[in-house]
Amino acid sequence: MSVLTAQPVNQFVAKDYKSDLKPIWCPGCGDFGVVQAIYRALANIGRAPHEIAFVSGIGCSSRIPGYTTAYGFNSVHGRALPIAQGIKLANPDLLVLCAGGDGDGFSIGGGHVAHVVRRNIDLTYIVMDNQIYGLTKGQLSPTSRRGLITASSALGSMEGPVNPLMYVLGYGASFVAQGTPADMAGLASIIEEAIRFPGFAFVNVQSPCVTYGQEDQLLKAQKAMMQPLASLNHDPANRLAALDLAQAYGEKLYTGVFYRNPDPPPTFEALVRLRQEQQRPLAKSRADVLNVFRLKTP
C-alpha cells in the first residue's frame, strides 16, 4: 500500500502517535509545535504507527522520533538520510519520515542531500532550522547569520548562512516547502502534503531556539512576519518563481509550498521494483547465483 493510495480511514487520532517519553526540550522550544504538527499530519493520513519509520540524526530536534509511537531511529550526527533511504529501499511499503536540525542536515550531513534528491526516494525530510547549535550549547550553525556572536564566534561569525530552500531546490527536488510552529495548522497541513507527495519532499521549519536563539526569531516575532505563499498568488508548479521567493530566506518568512513538481520523476524504489520483477524469472533459487563460476566445456 503506497502512501498515496492510503485511504484516510480516521481510525487514528493525533494522540495515537504520541509516545509516553517526556521531551528533553526547553520550555517554549519550537520543536514542541513541530511534533504536534507531525501527530496531526499522521492522523490525517491514517497509517498505523507500526507502518511508519521515523529516522533522525543527532541534535535537540533529532530526539523527535522517540516522542512518537512509530518505529523510531535516533541515529548518529548527520546520517539520518542514508539510514532512512536504506529503510525505504528495504521495505518500500513503509512510510518513512526523516528529521533533524540545520546542523545535521546542512553541515555534517550536507553531502547526503544532493543524493537523496537525485534518487527521488519517497521520504519526507523535516529540518527544524533554528540557526544555532542548541544541544552543544550555542555554537554557530550553517544557517546562522553573518556577524552572529555565539559560544564559538565570540567576536562574531565571518561566514554567511546556507540557504536551505535554495540548496534543496538547486539540487532539483520536486517538493520544497517551509513552515513554522507559529502557524500550527498551516505546518500540519504542509507536512501532510509533503508526506503524501510521491517522492522526496523537503520541509524547512523555522523552529526557534528559546535558549540560544535571537529575539527576532522567536514565535512572537515569526507570527508578525510570516507571509503565506498562498497570499502572494504563488504558483507552486513554477520552479523559477519558487527559486526567486526562496532567495528571501533569512529576510522574509514565507510559509507554504515553494515548489511542487507537477510531473515528478519516478521514485528510485519504483525503478528497483521494476528491475526486480524483470530479473526475477531468471533465477529459480538462490543457489543459481553459483552458476557463474561453473565452467562450460567449450
Partner 1 sequence: MTTDLVIGMAGSGGDGIVSAGESLLTAAALEGYHGVLTKSFGPQIRGGESSFRLRVCTKKVLNPGGGLDIAVALNWEDFLKFGSELPVSGRTTVIYDAATGVAPDGIPVKDALPAEVLPVPIEQMARESGGGDRVKNTVVLGLMSGWVGLGREQVVAGIRKRLARKGAEVVERAEKAFAAGLAFAEAHPLRVDRTMAPPAESGAKFVVDGNDLCAAAAIVAGCEFFGGYPITPSSEIMHFLGREIWRYGGTMLQAEDEIAGIGAVVGASFAGKKAMTATSGPGMSLKTEMLGLASIAELPLVCVNVQRGGPSTGIPTKGEQSDLLQAAFSAHGDVIRPVLAAISAEDMFAVTVEAFNIAEHYQTPVIVLSDQEVGQRKETADPIDASAVRTVDRLRPSAEDLNPYVRFRFTESGISPISHPGMPGGNYLASGIEHTENGSPTAGGEMHSRMNEKRLRKFEPLKQRADLFLRAGNPNARIGLISWGSTAGAVIEAFELAAADGLDVKLLVPRLLYPVADGIFQDFLASVERGLIVEQNHQAQLYRLLRMFVDVPGGVETLAKSGSNPITPSEIVERLRRLAAAPKAETAR
Q: Residues interacting with partner 1, by CB under 8 A?
A: 21, 48-53, 55, 58, 63, 65-66, 69-76, 79, 81-91, 93-94, 111-112, 114-115, 272, 275-276, 278-283, 285-287, 289-290, 292-295, 297-298
Q: All 3 cell numbers of residue 288?
A: 543459481
Nearer to partner 1, 96 or 127 (CB): 96
Closest separation in Å from C-beta 111 to partner 1: 6
Closest separation in Å from C-beta 168 to partner 1: 15
> What separation in angstroms does the CA of 255 have from each of 176, 201, 246?
11, 15, 10
Closest separation in Å from C-beta 276 to partner 1: 5
Closest separation in Å from C-beta 185 to partner 1: 27
Nearer to partner 1, 40 or 88 (CB): 88
Cα 279–chain centre separation: 33
Closest separation in Å from C-beta 214 to partner 1: 29
Closest separation in Å from C-beta 199 to partner 1: 17
Task: Specify the DSSP class assigned to residue 274.
Answer: H
Nearer to partner 1, 99 or 182 (CB): 99
Distance CA 70, CA 251 (A): 36
Q: All 3 cell numbers of residue 260?
A: 511542487
Distance CA 30, CA 219 (A): 8
Nearer to partner 1, 114 or 241 (CB): 114
Nearer to partner 1, 28 or 111 (CB): 111
Nearer to partner 1, 30 or 57 (CB): 57
Closest CA to 209 of 111, 109, 130, 129: 130
Residue 258, classed as helix, strand or coil, is strand
Phi first, then psi, for residue 144 (nearest 5°) are -65, 145
Cα dihedral 25, 83, 255, 46 sign = negative
Q: All 3 cell numbers of residue 63?
A: 530526539
